[in-house]
Amino acid sequence: MNMNGRVIYRGASEIDGAPIVVVAIGFSSPSTNGKTGNMLQTYILREDISPLVAIQTGQDSSICGDCTHRGTVVVVDGVSRNKDRTCYVNVGQGARGVWECLVNGAGYLDWNGLGVYGRIVRLGTYGDPAAVPSYIWESFLAGAKGHTGYTHQWRNPKFARLSAICMASVDTEQEAQQAHAMGWRTFRVALPSDTPKVKGEAVCPASAEAGKKLTCDKCLACSGTQRGSRSSIVIQAHGGFAVMANIRKKNATMRVAA
């Protein structure tokens, strides 16, 4: 067994009912993520198919919902593929490794309620926390020192309960205003031509544009409404080479449309 991870949920996706699995990583080895710091990382995955296949076929909707950063699935010569994806997560690394350990490797033990006390948790290192029953997160966070979390499913009243522990992931100032009116704090990913910061927003301290002053495990601003924080957060769109190329393409298209 891979002792660095624990399965904290197996069951139906709250988004579409498909089989998903959630694995928390970091129980025996600290995270090496330079932006987030030492947090327990949680991966929300389709249990029945590889995350790479899920992206290429659109079946990642079970764990990402209607997130605009998923890209678009097109069929070319009978083969499905994804284009224009702007998600910053490199699924070919962490998410694929976790899934392959589940199905082809040593596997992970089920979580036994231990190992979280005093730790910092990242909800949805990959995947949207809304895909998972809220009681799972509430149980997992019960002894945690703090957490971060984000959801693109904030428009759906079914997931309103998540506003206590998650930020509404928004992509425009208009979406931010709408989410605020619904009682959410927001995390806005700004395109290069967007307003860098608006009233009520603070620039993410872990971002390059803020000089990487803090890691997420030290900041903990992105924890929803339950901590009493008021400011929302904004960060410039970021990712690898291919992601940034798609972001620049999307930005140019939006400027022409405007």
Domain residue spans in the chain? 5-51+95-236
Within 8 A by CB and 6+ apart from 222, the residues are: 148, 149, 150, 167, 187, 216, 233
| pLDDT value of residue 242 | 83
Tokens encoding 88: 């910053």
pTM of the model: 0.94
Strands 167-170 and 19-25: unpaired
Q: Where are the beta strands (DSSP E) in 37-185?
A: 40-46, 72-76, 79-83, 109-110, 120-126, 146-151, 167-170
162 secondary structure, DSSP code: G
Helix or strand or coil: residue 237? coil
Query: Which residues of the chain fall below pLDDT 70?
Result: 253-258
Q: Give the bridge partners for 242, in sequence order.
A: none
Nearest to 147 by CA among 36, 67, 13, 21: 36
Q: How far is CA 64 from the centre of its chain?
A: 8
| pLDDT value of residue 178 | 97
Q: Where are the beta strands (DSSP E) in 62-131?
A: 72-76, 79-83, 109-110, 120-126
| pLDDT value of residue 17 | 98
253, containing H or E segment? helix 241-257
Q: For residues 193-211, b (16+ Cβ closer than 10 Å) or e, as one string?
A: ebeeeeeebebbbbbeeee
Report the alpha-carbon distance of residue 225 to residue 186 in Å, rounded: 10
Within 8 A by CB and 6+ apart from 103, the residues are: none
Tokens encoding 143: 């002894």
First to last CA, the chain: 53
Report the alpha-carbon distance of residue 110 to residue 62 in Å, rounded: 22
Instruction: For residue 79, give Cα distances in angstroms to 76, 92, 217.
Output: 5, 19, 41
pLDDT in tens, 56-113: 999 999 999 999 999 999 999 989 999 999 998 999 999 999 999 999 889 999 999 9
